[in-house]
Amino acid sequence: MKRIVNGLAAALAALCLLVGQASAAPARVLMLGDSLTAGFGLPIAESLPSQLEAVLKGQGLDVVILNGGVSGDTTAGGLARLDWALADNPAYALLALGANDALRGLSPDKAYENLDVIITRLKAKKVKVMILGMLAPLNLGRDYRESFDAIFPKLAAKHNVPLYPFLLDGVALEPKLNQRDGIHPNADGVKIIVGRLAPLVRQFLETPPG
């Protein structure tokens, strides 16, 4: 009997240890995006996911931002590689796709459809989603801009997920905050983005996954 009790005590101790380890695990956040996420033209440490992770950790959050950015990717590309991205078992996702759809003048309806499927599949995997929105370039005409810009608020409302309306807010069209191409933020531009985005991401991470 004593041996059984000791065995149960050992098993309980091991279970408590596993629970403690699980509770201490960092929050894993997938940032699924394009070159703006990948950190085009920047050292890895200055990319958006890296800077965002550093700021959140500096605020006391135990978090890992998984860089799921692929330069040139469209919403269709993001959808095609979603299973690959989910192999890292994130509990949260920052969805930052759509810029290349707009730059190429691709169908806003198709972009909406692709993002809708991505969000649906993420939620089915119990991954909490936050949308990082995008705005169409001014040179694409009013009709296109209105159709494209409406994608992200519609998706946020449909899926009841938080929305950061414009990822490049405060940085777009500011020469000192962008690289020579005028499209991709430099390290200072990324810092501005992170400063505006981090408080909302922190609030987003306060909600439990699942």
The C-alpha atoms of residue 63 and residue 31 are separated, in whole angstroms, by 12
CA distance to 3, 20, 116, 123, 181, per residue, from 92 (Å): 44, 21, 16, 10, 31
181 is catalytic: yes
Q: Say which residue the tokens 């309980």 belong to.
A: 12
159 is catalytic: no
User: What single-letter DSSP state applies at residue 41?
Assistant: T
The C-alpha atoms of residue 161 and residue 159 are separated, in whole angstroms, by 6
Catalytic residue among 35, 47, 50, 101: 35
35 is catalytic: yes
Is the alpha carbon torsion for 44, 78, 86, 65 positive or negative?
Answer: positive
Q: What tokens were used for 30?
A: 């997938």
Active site residue ranges? 35, 181, 184
